[in-house]
């Protein structure tokens, strides 16, 4: 395959206003056509990505051995094809620190609630007003 060309075919270049005034059957036809194109594009993107992962597996493994900073900038350059290889970043959660933050939030909410209750004054007919 040397050339791939996608054409808009029967989908005219309409504004949002024009689309909103289309008859329901025509709107449904266009909507279905665009959805099919979207589905096909997602499917092909997945195939292309898996094909490139297979073809460039050695270079991708090389990127995985680099440090996190170098791996974040790793690029495979194969003539007209440039591929930026991204490795998932390792995230380490400090559970003790997160627990301390959650506890501080819980305590500050409780303290705020107590302060609000002190500033409530009764109003006529059972209503309350905040100061």
* In the chain, where the domains are located: 16-84, 95-125
* Pairwise CA distance, residues 40 & 45, whole Å: 8
Q: Answer whether 77's CB lies under 8 Å from 98's CB.
A: no
Name the token pair of 28.
């449904």
Residue 124's pLDDT is 53
Please state the pTM of the whole predicted model: 0.50
Q: Which two tokens stand for residue 30?
A: 């266009």
Angstrom distance (rounded) from CA 13 to CA 107: 57
Looking at residues 59-63, what average pLDDT do you find? 80
DSSP string, 64-101: HHS-HHHHHT-EEEETTEEEE---PPP----HHHHHHH
Q: Are 120 and 128 in contact (CB under 8 A)?
A: yes
Contact between residue 74 and residue 66 where contact means Cβ atoms under 8 Å apart: yes
Q: Residues 116-131: pLDDT tens digits?
A: 665 555 555 555 555 4
């Amino acid at each position: 395959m040397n050339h791939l060309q996608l054409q808009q075919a029967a989908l005219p270049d309409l504004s949002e206003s024009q689309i909103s005034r289309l008859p329901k059957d025509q709107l449904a036809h266009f909507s279905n056509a665009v959805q099919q194109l979207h589905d096909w594009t997602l499917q092909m993107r997945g195939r292309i990505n898996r094909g490139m992962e297979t073809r460039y597996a050695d270079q991708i493994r090389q990127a995985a051995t680099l440090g996190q900073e170098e791996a974040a900038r790793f690029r495979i350059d194969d003539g007209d094809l440039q591929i930026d290889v991204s490795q998932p970043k390792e995230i380490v959660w400090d559970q003790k620190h997160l627990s301390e933050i959650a506890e501080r939030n819980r305590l500050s909410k409780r303290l705020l609630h107590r302060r609000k209750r002190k500033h409530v004054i009764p109003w006529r007919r059972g209503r309350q007003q905040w100061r």
